[in-house]
Structure 1
């Protein structure tokens, strides 16, 4: 009895000291559980004797929800309306309301009773809902150029507060201007849930520049973020204003190519049939925009046109030039000529433009066209003449063989490095390749044959002066030349000449000089002897003594000395 009286007395006393906190506000999501904090969610300064939750009814009167005296007692649900099965109290004294609806937009108050105080904590609840993702409905099948057409309707469904809808083209907002752009907004509220559906219709006057443009609608809501629909593109119908003819070919057009003519019109839907005017001849193509010229020739060159089937004035034209090249080369094939003969080379060319000509011999580039006034063995080879004009290349060729009987151009002899042998060389021109025979046996035989020039060497050991013969022959004839070979001196001889070795000539010259000097000395001595004899005889005849002055004797001795020399 005493404790109950004390409790009632405390309640009465607390009522006198009631304190009301300022109203807090929170936003809850539709359909989720609302958590209404007591004492702003902070811990109580002292353990409460009683916690009571209530709310303000629409008429202003309070409505009780639940009370909780103290732990571990269960909360006492006092609500008899739709809160009866939706409310509970959390351990921190927060009120929990399941399945939030728009009707839960109220002020809920938490009253806390302690031993010396009674406090109230009011909380204002706002319930909101984000709309469903936007959708574009009743989309137009196509837009007509210049005509105001309903493009579609954007729906932002089940939102609170109602959502805002904005239309965009290629990412830029569309603003209602009453002419080319018209937007009609509508809002519908579900009476059962109170949720709003916002719809927006877009009427748009499309142009050719809108082909491929992407239209979207974006929904804005206080809960964010913005939601944007999938982009939509529309076919725009407009008549043809321009026709273009395209010539489809790979590079320069040349004779034998296939050339495709393609006619394009800018109308939508595009035309599917065209007239092709082929140098005055009309060809109608149905269900296609192309016409192919097969195996064109130089006569195909000219102007070509295409037009709409129902309007010949809507047309375009292009000129087609077919490149061609006619060439000839004389001679051709395999040519066999004799050395010294002439061979005229004639080139003829005719093309659609300037014809470029280049020559090669055995894959080596020539600076100009070959000229053969007097054929040489070195002229033999494989000749190719290349011709080119825009997109076309041709080649002509001939194989030239220059033949002739052997002709020995040079025979020479040289002393070997050790000085004990002589090397004989026979150089021969001729084709087919000549065979060489020497009149002496030799060793270390060497042979080379290039461009009709044969070089043949042998090494010999002459035991005396020899005349050596070189014989060269092929199927066309033969040639023979000789050279004198000495065992002492080196000899060299050019074609058709038989010279002595330089060493032999020098030896003969020295011997001649020596013999000449001996003969001159003998003649001088003989003359002096005769003179002296005649002088002595004269003295005997006159009876004079063979004597003279000292000056004469001196001169006579000088003359005798010169004569002896």
Structure 2
């Protein structure tokens, strides 16, 4: 404020001088200044330069050299130009005065006064007495801004985020003073800023700006202060990632919005109170379903300022009524239950081996195909429990089918015995053969085969057995290609050979009847022709008739 008034006064003086006809010349501190004499319009006569009322500097006649006085202030610093202008080197504030050029002509004496004004640019802003932090609601002296060696004196303005700060005498106080150096006459300006912070000042930039009539504005580097304020709110958060299951560790973090933040907190866990020094975290280890509930934290010196958060520990219990290896008999019933206890909604899926089942399996009447490893998977909220059991269905052997067929050459006979049972039954044939083989056991079914070359009619038996029992079945095998012979007990099992056998028997009977009829006809024809040749009676004696019948009967037996 003082600096502004000073500049106003100086400008006013200059204006008055200009209005009154007083010429003004401005020079920069330390530079060389030229002061004109009547704007260089001196043609002849005697010229004398002086200052104030009696300060003589030099004298010069037209066409002669100048005579410089012994004035210690100017003896070694002045000179005169061809147009009688005064030259002053290395001007200082002491040179800021009125210099008069007196011209003595033939008829009169003229004086031309010139006001010399010296200016000096201020130094860049310097920040001193800076604090590091300010408290909300408390008037704090932040810093002092200073600039030196200026003329006229520089002005200082404070800014916050590029907005000028105005002193209100309460929340903002700005004190500015100007000191003039007695030796140099130059002015130094300093400004102290006192400021009452609010929470919105966190991260704010404060600057001071130097303003001078002869230079551009100069800004200081930004000043950033720590804003301290007491806590107003406490928050509690769960650092660990959920969902949480039994056995997990859960870390809690308590924070307050104060600055600086509190260094200690109180944690409340299920009726237990724990004070944590120099930390804001607490870890719950190996949590269980009983750990589910609300947890709280507060400030040590203000327990009413607290926050809470709920924690849920998920759990999943699965009990399967069947476990391990279960052995059951064919046709029996297996009852199975799954009991699930969970903290939420669970999903259950089943697999048999690598195959997914659409639903929980039911075993009302066990089959061999029910044997296998079953897996029950129950899942919920990131938890998964798996229960398995192996079911074994066993039964004594049963022969489902015993068949025979000829090979391509109509020489070998291939016998096949299809059986069911578990454990897998072993086979024993009643004859030796080649290409003895057996198929893999699929759902308790297995097929045995053997190749033989029958030389005579045979009855071949297939016997299958396991530790639960044994069973056998027989089939008739003929060496003839037609293979018409079959045992009565295998007729139902060998339906493929029955039609051919029946056709063969009927065809043989027909041939026999035709042969007998043809023989009888030939005999009768021959006999009657012979009788006719001898001329004998057609009707013979009783003895001859008897012989004829005996002969016919013998031929018929043949």
**The two structures share one fold, judged by TM-score above 0.5:** yes
126, 129, 134: which one aligns with 1:138: 129
Equivalent residue, structure 1, for 2:465: 473
- Equivalent pair of 1:333/1:397 in contact (CA under 8 Å): yes
Deviation by residue 1:43-84 (Cα, 9 ceiling, x = unmatched): xxxxxxxxxxxxx997899989xxxxxxxxxxxxx9999999
Q: Judging changes above 3 Å, is the alpha-carbon distance between structure 1 residues 161 and 336 closer, same or farther for their aligned structure 2 residues?
A: farther
- Equivalent pair of 1:413/1:423 in contact (CA under 8 Å): yes
385, 408, 429: which one aligns with 2:399: 408
**Counterparts of 2:444 and 2:294 in 1: how far apart (Å)?**
59
- Equivalent pair of 1:105/1:127 in contact (CA under 8 Å): no
**Counterparts of 1:205 and 1:292 in 2: how far apart (Å)?**
40
Q: Judging changes above 3 Å, is the alpha-carbon distance between structure 1 residues 402 and 62 closer, same or farther for their aligned structure 2 residues?
A: farther
- Equivalent pair of 1:220/1:227 in contact (CA under 8 Å): no
448, 456, 463: which one aligns with 2:448: 456
**Counterparts of 2:50 and 2:425 in 1: how far apart (Å)?**
135
Equivalent residue, structure 2, for 1:299: 290
**Counterparts of 1:292 and 1:484 in 2: how far apart (Å)?**
85
Equivalent residue, structure 2, for 1:322: 313
367, 383, 399: which one aligns with 2:390: 399
**Counterparts of 1:102 and 1:235 in 2: how far apart (Å)?**
45
Query: 454-463 or 326-335, which moves further after superposition?
Result: 454-463
165, 168, 180: which one aligns with 1:175: 165
SS at 1:342 equivalent: coil
Equivalent residue, structure 2, for 1:202: 193
Written as runs of structure 1 = structure 2, the 5 A alignment for 1:163-562 is 167-169=158-160, 171-176=161-166, 178=168, 180-188=171-179, 197-217=188-208, 227-238=219-230, 240-414=231-405, 416=407, 422-438=413-429, 439-443=431-435, 445=437, 447-462=439-454, 466-485=458-477, 488=481, 498-500=492-494, 502=496, 505-506=499-500, 508-509=502-503, 512=506
**Counterparts of 2:409 and 2:117 in 1: how far apart (Å)?**
128
SS at 1:378 equivalent: helix
SS at 1:472 equivalent: strand
**Counterparts of 2:502 and 2:289 in 1: how far apart (Å)?**
85
Equivalent residue, structure 1, for 2:531: none
Displacement of 1:251 in angstroms is 0.3
**Counterparts of 1:462 and 1:86 in 2: how far apart (Å)?**
153
Q: Judging changes above 3 Å, is the alpha-carbon distance between structure 1 residues 338 and 502 closer, same or farther for their aligned structure 2 residues?
A: closer
Deviation by residue 1:367-390 (Cα, 9 ceiling, x = unmatched): 222222333332222222222333
Query: 454-463 or 329-338, which moves further after superposition?
Result: 454-463
- Equivalent pair of 2:207/2:219 in contact (CA under 8 Å): no
SS at 1:371 equivalent: coil
Q: Judging changes above 3 Å, is the alpha-carbon distance between structure 1 residues 425 and 323 closer, same or farther for their aligned structure 2 residues?
A: same
**Counterparts of 1:484 and 1:161 in 2: how far apart (Å)?**
141
SS at 2:313 equivalent: coil
Displacement of 1:511 in angstroms is 6.0
- Equivalent pair of 1:174/1:181 in contact (CA under 8 Å): no
**Counterparts of 2:474 and 2:144 in 1: how far apart (Å)?**
117
Equivalent residue, structure 1, for 2:8: none
Q: Judging changes above 3 Å, is the alpha-carbon distance between structure 1 residues 285 and 470 closer, same or farther for their aligned structure 2 residues?
A: same
Deviation by residue 1:330-388 (Cα, 9 ceiling, x = unmatched): 22223333333332222222122223322222243222222223333322222222223
Q: Judging changes above 3 Å, is the alpha-carbon distance between structure 1 residues 501 and 450 closer, same or farther for their aligned structure 2 residues?
A: closer
- Equivalent pair of 1:467/1:485 in contact (CA under 8 Å): yes
Structure 1 spans left out of the alignment, 5+ residues: 1-24, 37-55, 65-77, 88-96, 107-123, 527-565
Q: Judging changes above 3 Å, is the alpha-carbon distance between structure 1 residues 410 and 219 closer, same or farther for their aligned structure 2 residues?
A: farther
Deviation by residue 1:309-339 (Cα, 9 ceiling, x = unmatched): 4444333333333322332122222333333
**Counterparts of 1:98 and 1:489 in 2: how far apart (Å)?**
150
Q: Judging changes above 3 Å, is the alpha-carbon distance between structure 1 residues 490 and 242 closer, same or farther for their aligned structure 2 residues?
A: farther
Displacement of 1:441 in angstroms is 0.5
**Counterparts of 1:63 and 1:466 in 2: how far apart (Å)?**
166
Deviation by residue 1:280-331 (Cα, 9 ceiling, x = unmatched): 4544445544444443333333333333444443333333333223321222
Task: Give the TM-score, by structure 1 length.
Answer: 0.61
- Equivalent pair of 2:153/2:189 in contact (CA under 8 Å): yes
Q: Judging changes above 3 Å, is the alpha-carbon distance between structure 1 residues 511 and 412 closer, same or farther for their aligned structure 2 residues?
A: closer
Query: 340-349 or 262-271, which moves further after superposition?
Result: 262-271
Displacement of 1:183 in angstroms is 3.9
SS at 2:242 equivalent: coil
- Equivalent pair of 2:197/2:227 in contact (CA under 8 Å): no
- Equivalent pair of 1:216/1:228 in contact (CA under 8 Å): yes
Question: How many residue pairs were aligned?
Answer: 447
Deviation by residue 1:484-508 (Cα, 9 ceiling, x = unmatched): 4566369999x97644564662463
**Counterparts of 1:461 and 1:224 in 2: how far apart (Å)?**
126
Q: Judging changes above 3 Å, is the alpha-carbon distance between structure 1 residues 433 and 233 closer, same or farther for their aligned structure 2 residues?
A: farther
Equivalent residue, structure 1, for 2:143: 152
SS at 2:245 equivalent: coil
Displacement of 1:152 in angstroms is 1.7
SS at 2:349 equivalent: strand
Structure 2 spans left out of the alignment, 5+ residues: 1-24, 35-48, 60-67, 79-87, 98-115, 521-558
Displacement of 1:176 in angstroms is 1.7
SS at 1:448 equivalent: coil
**Counterparts of 2:482 and 2:96 in 1: how far apart (Å)?**
139
